Structure 1
């Protein structure tokens, strides 16, 4: 059954300003990528709800303090160098993502250009390139497309399906889904595990 605006608002009340544009986009994306059962949809909505601040944040927020930089990326920032990057999102992105995930070096700007976007935060040039092929969109040359509701939803559903998350949902492995999304490794406890689970339980009730 297609998701309704009322159902989405019951699951994610903070999505009210964007519900009208996201419900049709999510329904198209879920249909295309076979997120087509109550369990799959509840799991998907829970994860995108957590990752996007209930559909309100379609681009990664990298406005970190010096202390937060050291806590979040202890291998990249120390108490000595963090203050030089604090509250400078572009500089932080280039430092954190430069030279990895298909990005060029820090000075090249790919880290900022290909920072996390969409409902599941596609990050890095190689992932943008993969999503571009999967979705038939020029994401490598126009990364900002993932900040549009339609493409934000499609990219999330594509990523979900390609990584076998429909099958994990079918098996009831909800924490493992969060682990794959947040850590890249099933079995590791994801950031926000309690909120992800609470959103999933709520979505199951609303979609019943």
Structure 2
């Protein structure tokens, strides 16, 4: 499928060799441009090359723009693959029935991981079942950049964010991701950066 955005122009902005293919090198360069380290960026880029088309995220320029803008905010510009804090901080998730954190230590075991901060036993179970992975049994998998991006892609499509991105509706996307307007100013700034690079 041909990408509906100008890949050659994007590659020029990223100072890449022009091949017109939105593949691992192009996506790696995007993540690096937004702050991912030399270790994290290639893992995100390789996963994106497989999963962006699979979840229809690279079907339109605006989908890619909004995905990058939102996940850059959620992950501290791709520097953090899991929520910052320790056991005492994560204890705030203990006993959360909405997350099915009903066992002692669930808060720490199922704290936020990945580039959309998957949180709670119920979510690890549900996303694991959807993706064919035992995320409930081994939640640390989500901190791996490749798996974290896969989880984010599934979250994005299953919550109808492709369509909201096509409508350029950053407020509704933000509310779907975090339930409110938390970090909206930075999300807008990151999205504007993505627009300048991709559109």
TM-score range, shorter chain: 0.7 to 0.9
CA contact (8 A) 1:93 1:115 kept: yes
2:36 pairs with 1:15 = yes
CA contact (8 A) 1:55 1:119 kept: yes
TM-score (norm 1): 0.78
For 1:115 and 1:158, the matched residues in 2 are separated by 18
| Secondary structure, counterpart of 1:15 in structure 2 | coil
For 2:44 and 2:96, the matched residues in 1 are separated by 34
For 2:32 and 2:92, the matched residues in 1 are separated by 37
> Structure 2 unaligned runs (5+)?
4-21
For 2:123 and 2:30, the matched residues in 1 are separated by 31
Q: Which residue of 1 aligns with 2:149?
A: 153
CA contact (8 A) 2:93 2:111 kept: no
Q: Which residue of 1 aligns with 2:89?
A: 92
* Superposition deviation, residue 6 in structure 1: 3.3
TM-score (norm 2): 0.81
Moved more, 40-49 or 172-181: 172-181
Between Structure 1 and Structure 2, how many residues are aligned? 173
Which one of 74, 77, 82 corresponds to residue 54 of structure 1? Answer: 77
* Superposition deviation, residue 29 in structure 1: 2.0
Q: Which residue of 1 aligns with 2:194?
A: 203
Which one of 94, 103, 106 corresponds to residue 101 of structure 2? Answer: 103
For 1:174 and 1:154, the matched residues in 2 are separated by 21
User: In angstroms, what is the RMSD of aligned CA positions?
Assistant: 1.6
For 1:154 and 1:22, the matched residues in 2 are separated by 9
CA contact (8 A) 1:40 1:169 kept: yes
